[in-house]
Amino acid sequence: MWSTDQRNRLAMEHQILQREGFSQFSVYHHSAHDSYYASGLATSSSSRRYNLYSPIPPGFPSQRPPLYIIDPNPLLMANGTAISRLGVSHAMHTLTPHDQGWVQICHWRDARWHSGIVLQKVFLKALIWIEAYEQHLATGRDLADFVRTMAEAA
Amino acid sequence: MSTNDPVQRQMIREAMQAVAQRKPGRSKLVYDKTKRTIVAVTEGAQTPQALNITADDADMFGVITVSSEWLREKWPELNRAGILPVAFSSWDDGDALTQSELCVQASPITVLGTFLLDQYQAESSQGLAILLERTEASSSKPDVFVSPEGTRYRGQIVQPAQPSCQPSDIVFADVEPQLALRRSGILETTILQDKTVLCIGLGTGGAHVVVELAKCGVGRFLLVDRDRLSVGNVVRHPGGISQVGRLKVNVVRDLILEKNPNAKIEAHALEVGFGNKDLISELVRASDIVICGTDNRQSKLLINELCITANVTAIYGGAFRRAYGGQILRVRPKHSPCHQCFVAAMPEEASDVEVSSEVDANEIAYSDQPVAVEPGLSLDVLPIANMLAKLALLELLADKSSTLNTLRRDFDAPWYLWLNRPEPGTPYADWPPLSESSDEMTIKRWYGIYFDRDEACPVCGHFVASLAASYGLDPSLLPALPAEE
């Protein structure tokens, strides 16, 4: 299922994470299913912890990997409702949520993704999203107000 | 027929029949220079009787078109029985009858008839009867058919489809040779006949490209698109209102067959996605060139990956939003920048796409920030499609002798840019007016633009190796990934 190029690419993605200051995230190989995922714990500047999970799709790197926050779940907005209820939201920079209610962070849209983008940048955007989310919790303003377009941040 | 006088009509009919059949008759048609009109001169009459025939009457006869190829195939049967049934599509109240075997899309009205080798059988036949009589006339005459043995026959109607039917000319059409003759002056049609074009995305642009290539004589097409033709498509797409609801692959298949009846076509109604990568990969490997007419980034990247792997040239074409312009990228694997190199080098240009459908709009919309469907005019898409077809043709002709070879030095760049208008809010808004510029970039001109391949491209280059080198790692000896948590 996975080509040698894909396996080498994922091995390199892991190395980049470890060597570029993102060692809290790793790429894992699920040997029983021969599947890959990237995950790790992100800690915000206010010391809250978020468990991030990115199942690597079979078309990676040409196919965009989704990135979910699997804990806390549900992830709530300032008004107490679940972010996942918004679906694809510009105000909160989210894409279609997982069936289990996990919020999908909008790091790149499919229309902007390409295979030159490395997972380190995906997790970097997730860290930015988390900081903006906490600003949203503090102020009630849209998360988008605190994040310039993700393209600029990259 | 411009005259409504029944006497005049009858005279015209008889006179022209006599002329057409080259039989001695009682009248003949003569052009009267003084009156600047055609007159019928009746034998023995003192003065010619003027007929009010104008140029409009030149095409007064209807036409019955028969496939010579079909008749040659059926010749043994006709020879044996002396009679051969045939069906025609009837158009324009019977003005044109086209043999059903020639019709990709038939008329709702069918006329049945028979070919006869013996005129006495006409009495027993029903409907239209066409007698084939031996003739010494040249085989270049449209109403002369050459049998497989080389004998020439003239076709003539011995019994009309209905008594009230007006006379018709018979035309024997040798379709493929006649089409090839029109192309042979400029194209290596024999080369193109054996070429296979895979077209993914059969919207306005893609459909136009493959129909143009079919006209040039390309012999085999693999068509991929999951969509159906909608009413809204009709103002742009070559398919018309009568095809609404049909799968675009089938609509375009028929459009190709209308232009190149011998083309071999595979229609695949499927979405291009990573889920059917293996099938798309098979199609790519079976192709001489891939035309990508989708506006979807993910599908373009997938096609790019498969074409690079299979070493098949791909051409990506698309209009900018509202078709204010457009661009074409030609990717010769390992020799020119690939689509991944393009999106990495020019992300804004690569993302400027036309939003011509709900699917396209949803691709970039949010639930709280909808995106309007804003298709451009067909008029603005077609220059891009024409250019794409020309580039594809050059690739298919490769290094073979062709009049088009002189274009190779002109079309050397990988990326081509075209502007229909200086759209506000784009980098092209301040381009000078067409009439004021001789050496600056303007609208309505093609620009071939060069840019380099990315040697570290993840698709056509050495991405992992170059990253590994920067970390002092051996790419063949990367540490194993940690086991699952």
SS3 content of chain A, % helix, strand, coil (to 5): 30, 20, 45
Q: Which residues pair with B62 in a beta bridge?
A: B168
Which amino acid does the sequence have at A20? E
Asked, for residue B464, whether it belongs to a domain, the answer is no
Query: Which residues, other chains included, contact B201 with Cβ-Cβ below 8 Å and sequence gap of 6+?
Result: B224, B225, B272, B292, B293, B294, B295, B299
Tokens read off for A95: 């894409």
Is residue B14 located within the same domain as residue B69? no
The H-or-E segment that residue B407 falls in is none
Q: Does B467 touch chain A (CB under 8 A)?
A: yes
Copy the structure tokens of residue B267. Answer: 């229609």
B333 inside domain: yes
**Any bridge partners for residue B270, and if so which?**
none
Q: Would you call A29 and B367 a contact, using CB atoms and an 8 Å cutoff?
A: no
Q: Do both B239 and B266 map to the same domain? A: yes
Average pLDDT rounded to a whole number, residues B163-183: 82
pLDDT score for A150: 45
Domain-embedded: residue B458? no
On whether both B116 and B191 belong to a single domain, the answer is: no
Please check whether residue A143 is in contact with residue A92, taking contact to mean a CB–CB distance below 8 angstroms: yes
- What is the average pLDDT across B436-452? 87
Residues B20 and B92 in one domain: no
Q: Clarify whether residues B237 and B362 are in a common domain.
A: yes
Same domain, B93 and B228: no
Closest chain A residue to B470, measured at CA: A16
Cβ atoms < 10 Å from Cβ of B103: 18
Q: What is the pLDDT of residue B28?
A: 60
Cα nearest neighbour of A114 on chain B: B340
Q: Is residue B102 part of a domain?
A: yes
Residue A151 confidence (pLDDT): 44
Q: What is the pLDDT of residue B4?
A: 59
**Residue B312 belongs to a domain:** yes
* Residues of chain A neighbouring B359 (CB-CB closer than 8 A): none
Cα–Cα distance for residue pair B412/B403, rounded to 1 Å: 17
- A4-153, what's its fold? Ubiquitin Conjugating Enzyme (3.10.110)
- Please enumerate in sequence order all residues whose Cβ is within 8 A of that of B419, keeping only pairs 6 or more positions apart, or say none: B324, B325, B428, B431, B442, B443, B444, B445
- Number of folded domains that form chain B: 3
Residue B278, in any domain of the structure: yes
User: What's the mean per-residue pLDDT of chain B?
Assistant: 87
| Full residue range of the structural domain in which residue B351 is found | 185-449
Q: Is the peptide bond before A61 cis (omega within 30 degrees of 0)?
A: yes
Banded model confidence at residue B190, pLDDT cuts 50, 70, 90: confident
Out of B101-110, B298-307, B455-464, B467-476, pick the least confident.
Answer: B467-476
Do B287 and B193 sit in the same domain of this protein? Answer: yes
| B363–A116 C-beta distance less than 8 A | no
Same domain? B87 vs B128 = yes
CA–CA separation, B95 and A104 (whole Å): 64
> What residues of B are in contact with residue A64 (Cβ under 8 Å)?
298
Helices B378-397, B204-216: inter-axial angle, 10-degree rounding: 40
Residues B248 and B340 in one domain: yes
Please say which residue of B434, B449, B464 terminates a domain: B449
Specify the pLDDT at position B55: 45
Mutate to test the interface with A, among B302, B342, B367 (most CBs of A within 10 A): B367
Q: Give the pLDDT mean for A63-70.
A: 97
For residue B1, being part of any structural domain is answered with no
The residue out of B59, B85, B103 marking a domain boundary is: B59
B309 burial type by CB count under 10 A (0-12 exposed, 13-18 middle, 19+ buried): middle
What pLDDT, on a 0 to 100 scale, did the predictor assign at position B45? 57
Structure tokens at B377: 């005019």
pLDDT at residue B39 in the model: 63
What's the pLDDT at A154? 45
**Do B69 and B43 sit in the same domain of this protein?**
no
Same domain for B76 and B29? Answer: no
Assigned token pair, B50: 């003027």
Q: Which of B277, B463, B475 sits opposite A59 (nearest CB)?
A: B277
The verdict on residue B129 lying in a domain is: yes
In angstroms, the CA A147 to CA B24 distance is 93
Task: Select from B208, B209, B204 the least CA-distant residue to B230.
Answer: B204
For the record, the structure tokens of B292 come out as 């990508």
Q: Of B173, B203, B218, which residue is a domain's last?
A: B173
Pull the structure tokens for residue A70.
């699997």
Same domain, B114 and B231: no
pLDDT range class, residue B336, cuts 50, 70, 90: very high
Please tell me the distance from the alpha carbon of residue B284 to that of residue B311, in angstroms, as a whole number: 9
CA angle at B193 for the pair B393 and B170, rounded to the nearest 5°:
115
Q: Per the CB < 8 Å rule, is B302 touching A31?
A: no
Residue B383's nearest CA partner among B319, B315, B294, B448 is: B319
